[in-house]
């Protein structure tokens, strides 16, 4: 079985400050990890993925994520938050040959001006 935990329902950060949205996972075998963003009244949009290789993955809109195998984590980060980054963020995992991703419950990111 595979699972994802996003321990924070909401993250608040001031514009210009760094942000982190947390994700931990459980999966058999090597994980394929993804981050998606959802803006109001829109579908989820792919941000970045980790498959193998460098533990720091760079994605769209200046976001990056760090894969940590020992802590089974894949936290999303951005050095300087923008108000326009305010949205719902989902972490997802696939593993063990599964073609069906498991999504976390999502974290609402609010960036204050």
Partner 1 sequence: DAGVIQSPRHEVTEMGQEVTLRCKPISGHNSLFWYRQTMMRGLELLIYFNNNVPIDDSGMPEDRFSAKMPNASFSTLKIQPSEPRDSAVYFCASSLRGSSDSPLHFGNGTRLTVT
Among 73, 77, 82, 103, which residue sits at the site for partner 1 (rule: CB under 8 A)? 103
Name the pairing type of β-strands 73-78 and 19-21: antiparallel
DSSP state of 79: S
Q: Is 78 in the site for partner 1 (CB under 8 A)?
A: no
Nearer to partner 1, 54 or 99 (CB): 99
Spatial distance between the Cα atoms of 17 and 34, rounded to a whole number of angstroms: 23
Minimum separation from the CB atom of position 98 to partner 1 (A)? 7
Among 13, 21, 24, 34, which residue sits at the site for partner 1 (rule: CB under 8 A)? 34
Q: Is 42 in the site for partner 1 (CB under 8 A)?
A: yes
Nearer to partner 1, 65 or 106 (CB): 106
8 Å CB contact between 50 and 102: no
State how far the alpha carbon of 103 is from the alpha carbons of 14, 41, 106, in Å. Answer: 27, 19, 8
Among 16, 17, 28, 51, which residue sits at the site for partner 1 (rule: CB under 8 A)? 51
């Amino acid at each position: 079985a595979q699972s994802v935990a996003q321990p924070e329902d909401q993250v608040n950060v001031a514009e210009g400050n760094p942000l982190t949205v947390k994700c931990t996972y459980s999966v058999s075998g090597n994980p394929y990890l993804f981050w998606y963003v959802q803006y109001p009244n829109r579908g989820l949009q792919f941000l970045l993925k980790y498959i193998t290789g460098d533990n720091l993955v760079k994605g769209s809109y200046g976001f990056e994520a760090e894969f940590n195998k020992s802590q089974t984590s894949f936290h999303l980060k951005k050095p300087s938050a923008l108000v326009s980054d305010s949205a719902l963020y989902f972490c997802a995992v696939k593993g063990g040959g599964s073609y069906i991703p498991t999504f976390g419950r999502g974290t609402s990111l609010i960036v204050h001006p």
